[in-house]
Amino acid sequence: MKEQPLASARRARLCLLALAALLAALFLASFVLGRYDVPMTQVVRILLAQVFPLEETWSANMRAVVVNVRLPRIALACLVGCCLSLAGAAFQSVFQNPMAAPDILGASSGACFGAALAILLGISHGGITLMAFAFSLLTVALVYLIGMRTRGSRTVSILLAGVMVSSLFSAGTSYIKLVADPSNELPAITYWLMGSLSGARLDDVAFAVVPMIIGAVPLLLVRWRINMLTLGEEEAAALGVHTGALRLCVVLCATFLTAASVAVSGMIGWVGLVIPHLCRKLVGNDCRYLLPASMLMGASFLLLVDNVSRNLMATEIPIGILTAFIGAPFFIYLMTRRGNIL
**Average pLDDT for runs of 10 along the chain of length 342:** 64 95 96 90 92 88 93 96 95 84 88 95 92 94 88 80 93 96 93 89 91 95 86 72 85 93 91 91 92 97 94 85 86 69 54
Residue 17 located in a structural domain: yes
Q: Report if residue 222 sits inside a domain.
A: yes
Q: What is the pLDDT of residue 22?
A: 97
Give the structural domain span for 148.
3-336
Handedness of CA 288, 291, 294, 296 (dihedral sign): negative
Question: What confidence tens digit (pLDDT) does each residue in 38-48 have?
Answer: 999 999 999 99
Task: With respect to residue 80, please indicate whether it lies within any of the assigned structural domains.
Answer: yes
Count of domains observed in the chain: 1
Q: What angle do CA 129, 131, 137 make, to 5 degrees?
A: 105
Q: Could you give the angle at which helices 271-283 and 71-95 cross, rounded to 10 degrees?
A: 70
In a domain, 314, yes or no: yes
User: Which pLDDT score, from 0 to 100, does residue 314 have?
Assistant: 76
pLDDT at 3: 44
> Each residue of 224-270: pLDDT tens digit?
888 887 776 677 777 777 888 888 899 899 999 999 999 999 989 88
Residue 341 lies in a domain: no
The answer to whether residue 236 is domain-embedded is yes
Residue 82's pLDDT is what?
Answer: 96
| CA 211 – CA 133 distance, rounded (Å) | 10
Residue 305: the pLDDT is 94
d(CA 212, CA 251): 14
DSSP 29-95: HHHH-SSS---HHHHHHHHHHTTS-----S-HHHHIIIIIIIHHHHHHHHHHHHHHHHHHHHHHHHH
- Residue 187 resides in a domain: yes
pLDDT at 2: 44
Q: What is the DSSP letter of 184?
A: T
Q: What is the CATH number of the domain that holds 16?
A: 1.10.3470.10
Q: Which residues, other chains included, contact 272 with Cβ-Cβ below 8 Å and sequence gap of 6+?
A: 84, 85, 87, 88, 89, 91, 101, 102, 103, 258, 298
The answer to whether the CB of 136 falls within 8 A of the CB of 116 is no
| Residue 342 in domain | no
